[in-house]
Amino acid sequence: MILEALTVGLVVSACFAVFIDEAVYSVAALAGTFLFTSALYASSGAIFVAVFQFAVGVGTLAILFLSGEMLGGKIENKPKPRNVIVVLVSGVLLSLPAAFLSFFGATSSVPSPSFGETLWNLRAVDVVLQGLVVLIVALGIGIVLFEKERKGEM
């Protein structure tokens, strides 16, 4: 059941990332896509891949938020509720075949070490901490840029 919920969330957030016009909302939806992919890997047993996906996603998103904030300017058009509902429904409908059909039999699962072993013995905790540091720095710079723009200094 968890895998199916993650699948629906992944496809819906991918649809939002492509179909929502505003850049910042689109990048936020892409963040959801990376997060759901990472959770999908983790729940399938591929912990190390999940950590890598999380770190790569965090780096990409940090740069995307910065460039979106720098190049995109102020948010002028918020997405209309009708468009949001249409994208949501189409995303759920698109994800149904992946969630409930199976052409190749049982779900593939990846043999992998446990979460604690991956974090500590394989040193994945270093990757996670570096990703978090990059994300926090990028968020700080983003907030400074946003505040400067709000005060009209830029």
- CA dist 80 and 48 (Å) reads 39
95 near another protein (CB under 8 A) = yes
**Shortest distance (Å) from residue 99 CB to another protein:** 5
Alpha-carbon distance 35 to 40, whole Å? 9
Alpha-carbon distance 56 to 131, whole Å? 8
How far is 95 from 53, CA to CA, in rounded Å? 21
Instruction: Determine which residue in the list 80, 88, 109, 130 makes contact with another protein, applying CB under 8 A.
Output: 109
Nearest to 61, CA basis, from 96, 21, 101, 23: 23
Complex with another protein: residue 97 or 140, whichever CB lies closer: 97
How many CB atoms neighbour CB 62 within 10 A? 19
For the segment 13-52, give every residue that binds another protein (CB under 8 A).
Answer: 14-15, 17-18, 23, 26-27, 30, 33-34, 37, 40-41, 44, 46, 49, 52
Stretch that binds another protein, among 108-116, 117-125, 130-138, 144-152 (CB under 8 A): 108-116
CA distance 27 to 14: 10
For another protein, the binding residues (CB under 8 A) are: 3-4, 7, 10-11, 14-15, 17-18, 23, 26-27, 30, 33-34, 37, 40-41, 44, 46, 49, 52-53, 56, 59-60, 63-64, 67-68, 71-72, 94-95, 97-104, 107-111
